[in-house]
């Protein structure tokens, strides 16, 4: 059996997947905390332990693994090397040669030489969504909204077979969406729940990036700002990190404050998509990540707010591509990045 592994390693969680003799396999119960804030050594142990559980449940020996590809949040500074990853919360990740570390760990644990690759999480999502659609697209823009904000572009000539062309860039961070400039005035004007708020600058040092408005980063600064003005909200008695993690649950139960914050995050995703699509000119835009893994009713609201943010931020360009579609990922278990990484490993 030919075994290629992929995984989605983010600031919050790690999800493994496999491409096994051309069969894509994802086990939803395999998701584990990434423990990224504890540094590379702990992160590497998390990755390999999860892969070993995945292989064990699939009745596959680690000695059969040929390659590993990780879809990663943050940026890459060179092929196989992490760049600045502020969302990981540990400086030891900066310039860390993760691909080489994976290859060395595989030799030690599995007595197996293999090839390891790193892929931006948005690019991995683009690979998966392109795979699902076959030849039913030419330019697909994928966006993942979780702890941060990732983007990827997959391109295919009509009738072409095999893996689509994915824009990676020289170091692998092509189509990095999270750290583009945001229109703060437009965002605050269109989301009254945050009117008068003073957004912080992004941890990357570039000012007000779209990641601050289209990812969980919005909740980290937006929720405290709102709770300061709302009397007796249930989340005001909850420690900040836990409160941020419960916004979606409250939104799903109909809480008006959390619903408005969730809608604001979706609007921010739309703004980010408009930025990227002014260059990509995609015929399909797909959004995945924690933002969209919610109830069917809330997914509809999320999609409408993404479209609203996209339209208003696009300006005159919103009328130039009438056939373009914006969709939410159909899989509600956030599998896209992990499966895309496994597919990429299979084609490498």
In a domain, 277, yes or no: yes
Number of domains in the chain: 2
Q: What percent of the chain has pLDDT over 90?
A: 53
Q: Are residues 142 and 119 in the same domain?
A: no
Cα(185)–Cα(128) distance, integer angstroms: 35
Q: Are residues 341 and 324 in the same domain?
A: no
pLDDT-derived band of residue 76, with 50, 70 and 90 as boundaries? confident
Q: What is the pLDDT of residues 329-344, one digit of tens each?
A: 887 778 888 999 999 8
In 3D space, the residue among 92, 100, 76 whose CA is nearest the CA of residue 37 turns out to be: 92
Residue 83 has a pLDDT of: 78
- CATH number of the domain within which 66 lies: 3.30.420.40
Q: Are residues 267 and 219 in the same domain?
A: yes
Q: Are residues 138 and 174 in the same domain?
A: yes
- Higher-pLDDT residue of 202 and 250 is 250
Q: Which helix (H) or strand (E) holds 344?
A: helix 336-347
Q: What is the pLDDT of residues 225-242, one digit of tens each?
A: 999 888 889 999 899 889
In a domain, 152, yes or no: yes
The answer, yes or no, to whether residue 258 has pLDDT greater than 90, is yes
Q: Are residues 275 and 162 in the same domain?
A: yes
The answer, yes or no, to whether residue 196 has pLDDT greater than 80, is yes
Q: What is the pLDDT of residues 288-310, one digit of tens each?
A: 988 898 999 999 999 999 999 99
Residue 173 has a pLDDT of: 66
Residue 319 has a pLDDT of: 61
Residue 7 has a pLDDT of: 95
Q: Are residues 319 and 180 in the same domain?
A: yes
Cα(344)–Cα(118) distance, integer angstroms: 10
In a domain, 129, yes or no: no
Q: Are residues 172 and 36 in the same domain?
A: no
Q: What does the radius of gyration of the chain's CA atoms come to, in whole angstroms? A: 20
Identify the domain containing residue 223 by its residue range: 134-328
- Higher-pLDDT residue of 318 and 218 is 218
Q: Are residues 233 and 152 in the same domain?
A: yes
Residues whose CB is less than 8 angstroms from the CB of residue 248 and which lie 6 or more positions away in sequence, other chains included:
258, 262, 290, 294
In a domain, 284, yes or no: yes
Q: What is the distance, to the nearest Å, from the Cα of residue 194 to the centroid of all Cα atoms in its chain?
A: 24
Across 178-205, average pLDDT: 90
Residue 267 has a pLDDT of: 97
- Higher-pLDDT residue of 101 and 321 is 101
In a domain, 139, yes or no: yes
Cα(76)–Cα(187) distance, integer angstroms: 29
Tokens 């690979």 — which residue?
A: 127
- Higher-pLDDT residue of 198 and 205 is 198
Q: Are residues 165 and 309 in the same domain?
A: yes
Q: Are residues 113 and 171 in the same domain?
A: no
Residue 147 C-beta-side C-alpha neighbours within 13 Å: 21
Across 99-111, average pLDDT: 95
């Amino acid at each position: 059996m030919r075994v290629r592994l992929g995984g989605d390693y983010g600031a919050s969680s790690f999800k493994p997947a496999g491409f096994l003799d051309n069969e894509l396999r994802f086990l939803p119960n395999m998701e584990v905390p990434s423990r990224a804030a504890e540094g590379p050594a702990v992160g590497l142990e998390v990755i390999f332990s999860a892969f070993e559980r995945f292989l064990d449940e699939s009745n596959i020996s680690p000695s059969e693994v040929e390659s590993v590809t990780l879809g990663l949040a943050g940026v890459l500074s060179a092929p196989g090397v992490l760049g600045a990853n502020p969302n990981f919360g540990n400086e030891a990740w900066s310039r860390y040669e993760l691909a080489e570390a994976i290859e060395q760990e595989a030799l030690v644990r599995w007595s197996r030489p293999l090839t390891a690759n790193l892929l931006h999480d948005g690019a991995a999502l683009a690979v998966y969504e392109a795979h699902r659609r076959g030849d039913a697209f030419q330019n697909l823009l994928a966006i993942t909204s979780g702890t941060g904000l990732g983007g990827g572009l997959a391109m295919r000539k009509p009738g072409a077979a095999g893996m689509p062309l994915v824009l990676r860039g020289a170091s692998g961070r092509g189509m990095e969406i999270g750290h583009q400039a945001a229109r703060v005035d437009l965002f605050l004007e269109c989301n009254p729940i945050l009117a008068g708020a003073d957004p912080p600058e992004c941890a990357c040092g570039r000012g007000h990036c779209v990641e601050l408005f289209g990812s969980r980063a919005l909740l980290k600064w937006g929720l405290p700002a709102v709770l300061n003005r709302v009397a007796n909200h249930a989340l005001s008695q909850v420690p900040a990190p836990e409160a941020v993690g419960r916004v979606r649950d409250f939104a799903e139960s109909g809480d008006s404050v959390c619903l408005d914050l969730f809608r604001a995050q979706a609007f921010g995703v739309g703004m980010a998509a408009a930025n990227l699509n002014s260059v990509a000119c995609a015929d399909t835009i797909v959004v995945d990540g924690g933002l969209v893994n919610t109830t069917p009713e809330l997914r509809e609201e999320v999609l409408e707010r993404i479209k609203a943010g996209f339209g208003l931020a696009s300006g005159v360009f919103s009328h130039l591509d009438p056939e373009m579609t914006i969709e939410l990922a159909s899989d509600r278990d956030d599998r896209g990045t992990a499966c895309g990484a496994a597919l990429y490993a299979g084609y490498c």
